[in-house]
Amino acid sequence: MRTALCTDPLFLQHAEPPGHPERRARLEAVTAALDRSGLVERCVRLAPRRAELSELALAHDAQFVAALQAQIEGRSGFVDPDTYHSPASWSTALYAAGAAIDATRAALSGDVDAAFVLARPPGHHAESRRAMGFCLLNNIAVAAAVARAQGADRVAILDWDVHHGNGTQEIFWRDPNVLYLSVHQYPFYPGTGANAEIGEGEGRGTTLNVPLPAGMGPDEYDFVFDHIFMPALRAFAPALILVSAGYDAHVDDPLANMRLVEKSYAGFVHRLASLGKPLVALLEGGYDLHGVSASASATLDSLLHPAPCRQGVAQCAPPAEESCARTRAALTGTTLGLALADAA
């Protein structure tokens, strides 16, 4: 596929305090691995630009944005015990959101088939009125909201980060036109993402959570994709698929307890690419330098060269099958619940 890549050394200006896991070395390791692979030269390069405040306001409360800017611009400190900022973090966060927006626009317009945004700070924990979990602004939510505002009838956001994307879920909790799907370790930070969390009001049934206990691996994740995510995406028929591409479910990650390997992420991309929709992935977590760089390389290679992927994993550990069953039960009576019941 014709694939865009957006990254830039400016994303290293979000400078971490000593010992923090969300560190510049993560992005340096990923970009070095991509340079060695030869994949970069096959991509369309996109330069990042700063998001406009009006674009942020499509996903974030405007008063929150103004207060966050006043708090962090030009300063070092923390917005909560986990979430730091350095003097350049406000500008860097605007560029991260702008990169997500422009990559999404390029995919929606047909200029490219897919895009991969390697930016920091990450975003999926940031809520409409709160920065948290290493995240200042919710890049993927802003991109989805801009896509909707510019005519995309339906947008799907799939989150495979090991931590639940509470911010993305909160922002689209009542929106029937944005499908949020997440598979994540549970119970775990941030404490959200139970099977019963399916949205409210008009958005009831367009949030799908499949929480998994620690220790789950490739077979269990493939089962979730094949029995929940892929049927739901086919039924929802989005104009665009966005991916919160965190790599902290990798077996070597120091902050979590899952057992994925880099080829697991290639399989996820092959499945999603088979739907024939514009596909945009945004870097989220991943804190082992080899794990994040090898997994991101596998993701980009799969975006460039999508291949058929075996679907329909027959067996996996019982906790994953049971979680899928609880998700289907929670969605009973909704449109997607019917689609999942048929697929089962």
Looking up tokens 């941030």, which residue turns up? 190
Helices (H), 237-288: 262-273
- Active-site residue among 125, 164, 227, 270? 125
Asked whether 326 and 62 are in contact (CB, 8 A), the reply is no
Amino acid identity, residue 277?
K
In whole angstroms, give the CA distance from residue 60 to residue 175: 14
In whole angstroms, give the CA distance from residue 341 to residue 94: 42
Q: Output the six-digit token pair for 13.
A: 């200006």
In 3D space, the residue among 289, 287, 240, 283 whose CA is nearest the CA of residue 265 turns out to be 283
Q: Output the six-digit token pair for 344.
A: 């089962």
In whole angstroms, give the CA distance from residue 207 to residue 181: 6
In whole angstroms, give the CA distance from residue 37 to residue 115: 17
User: 276: which DSSP letter?
Assistant: -
Mark whether 184 is an active-site residue.
Answer: no
Q: Which residues are catalytic?
A: 125
